[in-house]
A and B are shown apart, each in its own frame.
Chain A
Amino acid sequence: MADPHRYQAIRDRFEATVAQLRTRVDANLFTTSTFRDNCRLIVPADKANQVHSLLASLKAMGFDMLVELGAADYLHYPHATDRYGVWYCLLNTQSGERIIVKTFVNDPEPRLRSVFDLWQGADWMEREAYDLFGIEFEGHPDLRRILLPDEFTSFPLRKDYPLRGKGERHNFQPILRAES
């Protein structure tokens, strides 16, 4: 069995980071939660426009690497109150401290401010979230599809998108033997 104090040092450090963070941003901007060594800051959907300032403060505190930017669709998810979740996994490369910032956006226009100005590595990750979920990142320098073809019109990782697509598989002209 796991030692219950195994993650205590990580959590103590997280508490110190949160205390420092509350002096920099609105103290009611976020809530915290932990699971094992995951330390999370959760920003509710109505304050999602302030996530950028929260992330900027974290960057100023030494979280200099954006490890991951991801999204999920919580449609039909039990007890979910918001449609899309977006998370930022940060790493302080000096101390090794990690922190996860999670926020939510909703239809009809799921949009967030781009963090490309903080971490340029967000470029392709924001494009991927836009490509598959349709979340728009304002201020992104080149927000276009990255995985799917440019002429694709849907956002296929949304839960209301049918698995077999909406006919995108048949949009190309076949080449017949006599013509090629």
Chain B
Amino acid sequence: MAIEPLEGVMITQLDYLANWVRKHSLWPMPFATACCGIELMATGASRHDIARFGSEAMRFSPRQCDLMLVAGRVVMKMVPVMQRIWLQMPEPKWCISMGACASSGGVFDAYATVQGIDRFIPVDVYIPGCPPRPEQVLQALMDLQDKVQRTGTLTAREFAKRQVLEGPHLKPDQVDPAEQIVAPGNFASATRLQN
């Protein structure tokens, strides 16, 4: 005789549930170094209200964060600081590269400017724009939530075992998988979606 589920009770996978909880409670570490930081503040303010997505708890201690939000240009002297902050954040953790400068160096193609932070730390979502609108930041947050739901991880060690590309979730079948590699272009190192 089959056991009837109790009324009002849902049965699911624990991973799914954990990811579902996790994605609605991302705590950003605002690594704001330039004008993108202003847009990030606007995203957090009442008009755009990042709290609608559960990410309003910005913390300035990496120990309390699970989302690194690099907003603005990063200079070479800052790279060791950025890497240390990234390493200090506990797993599971994600990274958003906000704006043209953080993603590619932007117009600052000079000797002291990092040409994309993904050369030095892993990045999950890139936001284009100079600076991006708050709506774009929110869209990136929703994209990241989708990614968290599908790639939830406890230690990130499993990324080393990845053998196939796992591109961003939007229009995956329209893009040649080889085109989806942004950086570092290494199957074992990037955070990418499972299947």
Q: Which residues of A are at the interface with B, using a C-beta cutoff of 8 A? A: 148-149, 156, 161-166, 168-180
Contacts and interface: CB of A to CB of B under 8 A. Distances in A.
Q: From B76, B86, B156, B160, name the one whose CB has the most chain A CB atoms within 10 angstroms.
A: B76
Interface of B: 76-77, 79-80, 83, 86-87, 109-115, 119-122, 156-157, 159-160, 184, 186, 188-191
A149 B122 contact: no
Contact of A175 (B83, B111, B114, B159): B83
Given A172-B79, A178-B188, A156 B111 contact: yes
Contacts of B120: 172-175
A172 B80 contact: yes
Give the 6 A-B residue pairs with the shortest CB-CB distance, closest first.
A165-B111, A178-B160, A176-B189, A177-B122, A178-B159, A177-B159
Nearest to B87: A180
A175 B76 contact: no
B130 to A, nearest CB: 20
B190 A175 contact: no
B83 A176 contact: no
Contacts of A176: 122, 184, 186, 188-189
B154 to A, nearest CB: 13
9 contacts: A165-B110, A171-B76, A172-B79, A172-B83, A174-B121, A175-B83, A178-B159, A178-B189, A180-B86
B110 A163 contact: yes
A148 B77 contact: yes
